[in-house]
């Protein structure tokens, strides 16, 4: 016996045939939550299909109340509540599953889809064996790490390109990918942005935006020579490292720049003082580093490194050069640190960690490494389409996070896919609250205010 809760008579009628095909020949109806609770108190309902918004309740609270009513009759905490979806926003879909629904059913409905959802739900145990307050250890669970996704520097960079397109119209040229995420780049390309690696590809006199990763002084000089109008979207935290590089070089120090030599951020920073800066990629290189004057040495780091790796390399440099000095405050950005700390916080609770991010995203790759260093299987995925079935085998609790350039809608799509496929509940663990905001570059500041 099934109960359909919706104020729309047409929708309720359309579900009769679907439910019959799915093995529920008897369908009861209710227009709001009050009617639904009355039905549940009197009839042996085995499945509830509900609209997301009713006159007397909506959203997660609606799902929770229905689940509680079913739980009183012996159903597990993962009670059989399905949300009817005539076009829910991605956030609402995830909230529905997070509230305890076993999934969503597209409207117009399909019996095969409904049966697929029901297959993810185990038969409810007898009421006498249930502890409503305890988590079923066999119940799949998705644990979302927070903070995750966009940082202030990424938001600023994307907004800069969007404002430029709004003000000047396409094409707007951007040197290098504005941030290292395929989805972001493709969306901006569709809006009229043109990404180039060489300034020579840009027509003289055009507008060019420098990406969040920063560029060398030589790039600024070339832009002036080509009469390009420059908008610098370099992350302020990267700019901080550039200024430190200039200061240490002016002090006649050898500067050890800890990072990946081929990364565009490191290339830009090294360009500030190429005669003084040496790139160090691992502890072995640090142990063998040379300097003309061992008493005049300093170090800087790429902003997106693993804190664990950076600490080890700095230690090796300090052992070799006791006079080593560094920045007054860590160069690894707040967002990188917070996302790595969030991974550490959930690593002990999950069997598998999925990191949403593109392959060229340094900070996303570091999140994978942090998890693996703690013995947790971890994989980088650009989207839900890259999920591999073998990763999920034996994984009862799955952690999900995202690099600082990954859009939240891509994360939520992955969560929805996992929840629907596994019949999993959703929990979020927050380790820090972020409220950092960076002003847009000068050409767009007035518009922002």
pLDDT, tens only, 209-219: 999 999 999 99
What CA–CA distance (Å, rounded) separates 275 from 292?
A: 12
Longest CA pairwise span in the chain (Å): 86
pLDDT the model gives residue 107? 72
Q: Which of 155, 162, 244, 265 is catalytic?
A: 265
Instruction: For Cα atoms 350, 103, 140, give the angle at the middle one, nearest 5 degrees.
Output: 20
The residue-averaged pLDDT of 255-284 equals: 96
List pLDDT tens digits, range 48-68.
888 888 888 887 788 888 888
- Least confident among 33-47, 87-101, 230-244, 407-421: 87-101
pLDDT at 186 over 90: yes
Identify the architecture of domain 250-320 in CATH. Answer: 3-Layer(aba) Sandwich (3.40)
* Class of the CATH-defined domain 2-128: alpha beta
Give phi and psi for 321, each to the nearest 5. Answer: -130, 90
pLDDT the model gives residue 200? 96
Identify the band that residue 120 occupies on the pLDDT scale cut at 50, 70 and 90. low
Identify the band that residue 14 occupies on the pLDDT scale cut at 50, 70 and 90. confident
List pLDDT tens digits, range 316-375.
999 999 999 999 888 889 999 999 999 999 999 999 999 999 999 999 999 999 999 999
If we measure between CA atoms, which residue out of 191, 54, 143, 178 comes closest to residue 353?
Answer: 143
Residue with the bigger pLDDT between 86 and 262: it is 262
pLDDT at 163 over 90: yes
pLDDT at 94 over 80: no
pLDDT at 129 over 50: no
Q: What is the pTM of this model?
A: 0.72
Dihedral Cα 368, 373, 374, 378, nearest 10 deg: 30
CB 404 within 8 A of CB 151: yes
The structural domains of the chain, with segments of one domain joined by +, span: 2-128, 142-150+334-430, 152-236, 250-320
pLDDT at 426 over 80: yes
If we measure between CA atoms, which residue out of 334, 319, 265, 267 comes closest to residue 288?
Answer: 319
- Least confident among 19-33, 356-370, 397-411, 424-438: 19-33
pLDDT at 392 over 60: yes
Summary mean pLDDT of the chain: 87
pLDDT the model gives residue 112? 75
Query: In the CATH hierarchy, which fold is given to the domain comprising 142-150+334-430?
Result: Cobalt-precorrin-4 Transmethylase; domain 1 (3.40.1010)
Q: Which residue blocks in 251-361 are alpha helix, DSSP H? A: 264-270, 283-287, 307-320, 334-347
What CA–CA distance (Å, rounded) separates 428 from 124?
A: 25
pLDDT the model gives residue 447? 44
Do the first three CATH levels of 142-150+334-430 and 152-236 match, i.e. the same topology?
no
1, β-bridge pairs: none
Options 3.40.50.150, 3.40.30.10, 3.30.360.10, 3.40.50.11270; which CATH number does 152-236 get? 3.40.50.11270
Is 265 in the active site? yes
């Amino acid at each position: 016996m099934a109960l359909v809760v919706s104020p729309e008579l047409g929708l309720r009628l359309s579900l009769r045939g679907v439910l019959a095909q799915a093995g529920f020949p008897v369908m009861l109806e209710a227009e709001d939550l009050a009617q639904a609770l009355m039905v549940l108190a009197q009839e042996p309902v085995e499945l509830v299909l509900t609209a997301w918004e009713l006159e007397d309740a909506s959203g997660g609270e609606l799902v929770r109340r229905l689940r509680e009513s079913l739980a009183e009759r012996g159903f597990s905490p993962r009670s059989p509540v399905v949300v009817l979806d005539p076009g829910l926003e991605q956030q609402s879909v995830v909230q529905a599953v997070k509230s305890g629904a076993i999934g969503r059913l597209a409207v117009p409905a399909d019996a095969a889809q409904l049966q697929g959802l029901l297959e993810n739900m185990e038969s409810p145990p007898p009421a006498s064996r249930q502890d409503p307050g305890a988590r079923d250890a066999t119940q799949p669970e998705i644990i979302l790490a927070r903070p995750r996704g966009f940082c202030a520097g990424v938001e600023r960079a994307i907004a800069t390109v969007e404002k430029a397109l709004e003000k000047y119209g396409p094409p707007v040229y951007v040197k290098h990918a504005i941030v290292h995420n395929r989805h972001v780049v493709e969306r901006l390309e569709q809006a009229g942005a043109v990404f180039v690696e060489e300034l020579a590809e840009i027509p003289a006199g055009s507008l060019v935006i420098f990406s969040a990763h920063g560029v060398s002084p030589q790039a600024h000089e070339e832009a002036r020579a080509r009469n390009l109008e420059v908008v610098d979207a370099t992350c302020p935290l990267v700019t901080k490292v550039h200024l430190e590089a200039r200061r240490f070089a002016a002090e006649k120090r050898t500067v050890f720049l800890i990072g990946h030599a081929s990364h565009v951020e490191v290339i830009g920073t090294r360009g500030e003082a190429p005669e003084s800066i040496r790139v160090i990629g691992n502890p072995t290189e640090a142990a063998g580093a040379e300097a003309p004057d061992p008493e005049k040495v300093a170090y800087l780091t790429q902003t997106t490194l693993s804190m664990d790796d950076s600490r080890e390399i700095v230690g090796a440099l300090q052992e070799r050069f006791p006079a080593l000095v560094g920045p007054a405050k860590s160069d690894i950005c707040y967002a990188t640190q917070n996302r790595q700390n969030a991974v550490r916080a959930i690593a002990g609770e999950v069997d598998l960690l999925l990191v949403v991010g593109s392959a060229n995203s340094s900070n996303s790759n570091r999140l994978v490494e942090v998890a693996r260093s703690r013995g947790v299987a971890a994989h980088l995925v650009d989207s839900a389409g890259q999920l591999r079935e073998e990763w999920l085998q034996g994984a009862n609790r799955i952690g999900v996070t995202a690099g600082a350039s990954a859009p939240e809608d891509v994360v939520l799509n992955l969560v929805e896919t996992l929840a629907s496929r596994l019949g999993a509940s959703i929990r979020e663990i927050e380790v820090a609250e972020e409220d950092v905001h960076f002003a847009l570059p000068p050409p767009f500041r007035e518009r922002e205010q």
